[in-house]
Amino acid sequence: MKEVKKRIIYLFYLLSQKDDFIRAKDLAKRTEVTERTIKNDVKELSVYAKKSGAELVSKRGAGYRLLVKDKRRFDYVKGQLHMHYSEMGNNQSEIKDRCNEIIRRIIVESNYMTIDELAEDLFITKSAIRKELKLVNGYLKQFRLRWKKKNEEGPLIIGSEFNRRMLMLCVFENHYHEAVRMYEDDDFIYWFNYDEKDRYEIRHIFLKNLRESECHIRDEHTQRFARYLCLIANRVKAGNFVEFSDEQKDYIYRLKQSQVSKQIMEELIEYPGFNQLPEDEVLGFGLLLAEYADISPNCDIETSYKTQLIEAESFLSEYKKIIKREYGIDLSDLPNSKNILIRGLIPLLIQKDFKLIEQETRITSINDARVSDCLLATQMAFDALFLFKNKYGVIMTLDNVLTFSTSIHSLLLSIGYEFKPVRALIFSWAGLQHGTIISKMISKRYREAFEKIDVFELYEMRGLKYEDYDFSIMVLAIHSNSQHFAYKYDWPYMTMDTIPTQKQMNELYNRFILNGVQLNKAFNKLNLDRINIYRDVDVDTKDMFIKLISYKLGKDSKAVKNIQKSLQYRSPVCVSNHVCVLFVKHSLVEKSILDIYQLKNKINFDEKPVSYIVVMSFNFNGSLESARFISDAIYMFFNDIKSLERIIESENKDDLICVVKKSLKVLPISLD
């Protein structure tokens, strides 16, 4: 690496830490060079500062300082350099970012390096390197890679080329495609460089073939595959090839993704690095497609994944027993549950068979959106993680847990609440014929939602029995004098134009049709005596709170230990929008629990600020509707803080029904 370039960056870092001038002799002392050298560096430093959103200002007798011109750019660069040069702190993302910095450097190194050499090369202290080696070694182990021994042949990091690429891809995606380029000769970034126009065409060819095939991947992974294609080309050009055993080749050949990969590579043959690709490279890309497959409901599993199907069915049988024991519901009672869950399991089994399932592809923190949509499903997905561990001796990554949770969430969403059709009466100022037309419009729009919609003149409503109807609709002309039609009946009502608006139709759904959803039955099955509210709770840390809750809820010493261990493990996927929801397994406590803690001061759960903590534990007692009910309630806690505050204020458990009902207030959904 270029020493002068490292010094320029370090000078920029030093200046970025102060708003005032720093004298040349002080900069010289910090960088262990002469004042003359500092002055000679000014021109290059000025260029670097400009690229980083600042202007280098010099003043005779005072020294140098940075004047910020582009605050957003400057703050970003400053933050990156702080992570790069500062001593290791308590910030987990900062630790992981520096860990990535180390991995980026060592993963492409050919020669043996000591800690002293690595520290000097990265301009990080030896103590910082040593502190983070445990984390670095953990990532290497996940990808089945290790350090080269001093007298051993080969690159600094030993392992298969495929696993090396997976780690390179992971580090690049999580950090370095956005990170500041610390040095001009960045060996790591080189492997992902490709002509911009060609890279666009390569991605286009890849996606075109994928669209034309019967294979699917989630949209969030398309960039990952496009980057891997560039990585293939550059690694192959340098003589670094993926290799599989004959048994592994046979396995991949049986996957339909191998044929899609072959078609893609045949179209890419004219691009540098893709001509005369070895067979194993083509199979490797097919394996990647299978590893991240989003299997369609229309896919013939028995034909496409015959090898994995038997194992998936066996795993699913055990998994359903665990869910029934821990949550009190039988997933087999849901139509199509087997097909949905097997489609989520098969990619995981493929990863397991190739020892890829422990490779954490997202080193950065979990995105809020992936948590807030389906936390109950995520809790159930953790049971799949533990089954994988017990059955196969491997640990699924959090990313895989969240991905599998989407299959479970699909099942939870398919659970329909019991619905009692509503009864309405209509009055129209334009007469019975018009009222009948409006009645038919509503019936067509909401189909089975109504037991009856009867049309009357306004005066005729006086002779009707109150208990025969749930509400009434008054259809009035837009510019009519509504006072002329005085409403003096006990039924709740709404007004509607002669040509109903979208807003009015939605009001009909939200105010009245949803009253037919029988949420009380699902709620009562929870056997919840009360909601406990705790205000101004004073705790300092996540660990302190989890310890407190574990001792409070655990029915015995073993349960206390298990609660604490479980909550610590799951805490990274329990927070969204300043709300933390902790789900405690019912087998570890004595009764149904819903406790809400309003914190006096915010605390951090894995770097995410938390103001409210909801602790819950339920056995759903065979009621799938109750499971859906709690899933919807958690969704509202995360996405509508006012719903949570309403319960805190009222301390009324029945308000939980109102919260869940509010979650259904969207454009009409199936009420079957």
Q: What is the pLDDT of residues 448-503, one digit of tens each?
A: 899 999 999 999 999 999 999 999 999 998 655 555 567 889 999 999 999 999 99
Cα–Cα dist 372/369, whole Å: 5
Question: Which among 162, 561, 608 has a CA at the least distance from the CA of 372?
Answer: 608
Residue 270 in tokens: 């004219």
- Please give the DSSP secondary-structure letter assigned to residue 419: B
Q: Tokens at residue 296, please?
A: 């369609």
Q: Which two tokens stand for residue 504?
A: 């009015």
**pLDDT band at 589; cut points 50, 70, 90:** very high
Question: How, if at all, do strands 575-576 and 471-476 pair?
Answer: unpaired
DSSP-derived 3-state class of residue 63: strand
Tokens matching residue 95: 């630790």
Reduced to 3 states (helix: H, G, I; strand: E, B; else coil), residue 580 is strand
Report the C-alpha gap between 329 and 320 in whole angstroms: 9
What is the average pLDDT across 624-637?
A: 96
**Parallel, antiparallel or unpaired: strands 579-583 and 608-617:** parallel
Q: What are the tens digits of pLDDT across the range 523-575?
A: 999 999 999 999 999 999 999 999 999 999 998 999 999 999 999 999 888 99
The pLDDT score that the predictor gives to residue 2 is 42
- Beta carbons of 622 and 330 less than 8 angstroms apart: yes
pLDDT in tens, 93-136: 555 667 777 888 889 888 888 888 887 777 667 777 888 888 88
pLDDT at 603: 94
- Spatial separation of the C-alpha atoms in residues 172 and 100, rounded to whole Å: 9
Q: Are 84 and 123 in contact (CB under 8 A)?
A: yes
Q: What is the pLDDT of residue 151?
A: 79
Q: Where are the beta strands (DSSP E) in 401-489?
A: 422-428, 450-455, 471-476
Give residue 32's pLDDT band: very low, low, confident or very high (50, 70, 90). Answer: confident
User: How confident is the model over 309-313, as a mean pLDDT?
Assistant: 97
Residue 180 — very low, low, confident or very high, per pLDDT cuts 50/70/90? very low
Any idea what DSSP says for residue 292?
A: T
Q: How far is CA 244 from the centre of its chain?
A: 32
Here the tokens at position 309 are 């199907």
User: How far, in Å, CA of 232 to CA of 227, rounded?
Assistant: 9
The pLDDT tens digits for 84-99 are: 665 444 455 555 667 7
Per DSSP, the three-state class of 297 is: coil
